[in-house]
Amino acid sequence: MPQTTVPTTSTTSEHAENIARIRDALLSRQRILISSHARPDGDSIGSQLAMAYALKALGKDVTIVNKDAAPPPLMAFPGVPTILVAERAEGEYDAAVVLECSDLTRTGVEGLDRYFLINIDHHPGNAGFGALNWFNGDAAACAEMVFDIIEALDAPLTVEIATHVYVGILTDTGSFHYSSITPRTFDICRRLVEAGVDPPKVARSIFDSNSLGRLKLFGAVLSSIELEDGGRLAVVRVDRAMAASAGGNYEDTEGLINLPLTVREIQAVVFFKEIDAREFRVSMRSKGDIDVCAVAKHFGGGGHKNASGCTVRGAYPEVRARLLRDLVEAIQRGRAVGQGA
Ligand code: AMP
Ligand code: MN
């Protein structure tokens, strides 16, 4: 069924109206299900658990269900092991809150459409699938939006809630690297630290919990890095054989893609993860005005200007060539914007 995309910009008062509507809907309901996109990231998990703890503090019955498990470095955070991993939502609920998900099918969880849907998201192009929809493309993380809802609910900003909002912001800004950051991001973070968040502890648990095998896998992948577009574009690829010989876990290549951008000249990175010989998970990252979300969208994916992803079918040389054509164009467009042209 065709769906209308929600508006990409809203005024402060429109945001306030959406927040108030969602607050009232949550306060008048008891059993609440929370879901997010498949292969959840730090913003999905942080947003969900912050929301769950806040609603529980208000006496609600809350269940989180996701299609896939949380990334291993997040497992040690409060509440993460209580998240149900399932492909179908079962049971009676008065509302389902879908966080950080541009369309309902991206949850990978069936049956959510049986419930009163509340859609809260910051991804451009959100499909507006909810009974209530709040989109804020200016939020650096969905967790910033959850913070607003928690304030509106007048729920206590406990250290668990604050930590989860911080996890969402820290991870979705690429550790404070992306151009999505606003002054408000820091206003919120200040409040979170005042509420007891320990930033070095959170950063160490998320980013410095590698196994040696994972580090060696990163090494193997990075030593076969290819440079294109005069050194501005890095291409990296991983397949199962590479992971097995390095002793790393194939599922756990999260974070690898960010490393090429630490090279000054590299402006964008594309990472191909082989699912099978004719299917690749593609992740992209960029600096500044280079819009890799537009590239991902062209291939049926999505994300943000500086971090996006898609799944592409075909033999590797052909898939690589198709992506590179778009990426080189995106880099040229981004450079033109950056130079004020
Ligand atoms: P990843 O490279 O998987 O870390 O994803 C980076 C960003 O792109 C995240 O915001 C994802 O939610 C988004 N993203 C990744 N894959 C897809 C997809 N197939 N469709 C829409 N958004 C995606
Ligand atoms: Mn996000």
pLDDT confidence tier of residue 329, bands split at 50, 70 and 90: very high
What pLDDT is recorded for position 24? 98
User: Across residues 145-161, what is the average pLDDT?
Assistant: 98
pLDDT exceeds cutoff 60 at 3: no
**Quick check: CB of 310 below 6 Å from ligand 1?**
yes
User: Across residues 183-195, what is the average pLDDT?
Assistant: 98
What pLDDT is recorded for position 338? 73
pLDDT exceeds cutoff 90 at 162: yes
Distances in whole angstroms, Cα of residue 272 to Cα of each of 66, 72, 252, 284, 295: 24, 21, 14, 9, 14
* Residues whose CB falls within 8 Å of the CB of residue 254, separated by 6 or more in sequence, listed in order: 41, 71, 73
pLDDT in tens, 118-144: 999 999 999 999 999 999 999 999 999
pLDDT in tens, 47-79: 999 999 999 999 999 999 999 999 989 999 999
**Quick check: CB of 273 below 6 Å from ligand 1?**
no
What pLDDT is recorded for position 8? 62
pLDDT in tens, 274-285: 999 999 999 999
Residues with CB under 5 A from ligand 2 (ion): 43, 100, 142, 172
Mean pLDDT, the chain, rounded, equals 94
Nearest 5°: phi and psi at 312? Answer: -125, 140
Please check whether residue 172 is in contact with residue 189, taking contact to mean a CB–CB distance below 8 angstroms.
Answer: no
What pLDDT is recorded for position 5? 59
What pLDDT is recorded for position 248? 78
**Quick check: CB of 303 below 6 Å from ligand 1?**
yes
210 vs 40 pLDDT, higher one? 40
Closest ligand (CA of 121): 2
What pLDDT is recorded for position 165? 99
pLDDT exceeds cutoff 60 at 341: no
SS (H, E, C) 73-106: HHCCCCCHHHCEECCECCCCCCEEEEECCCCHHH
* Nearest Cα residue to atom 16 of ligand 1: 309
Pairing of strands 117-121, 132-135: parallel
Nearest 5°: phi and psi at 72? Answer: -50, -40
pLDDT confidence tier of residue 296, bands split at 50, 70 and 90: very high
The two most distant CA atoms of the chain are separated, in Å, by: 58
pLDDT confidence tier of residue 6, bands split at 50, 70 and 90: low
What pLDDT is recorded for position 253? 83
Among 4-8, 26-30, 239-243, which stretch is predicted with the lowest mean pLDDT? 4-8
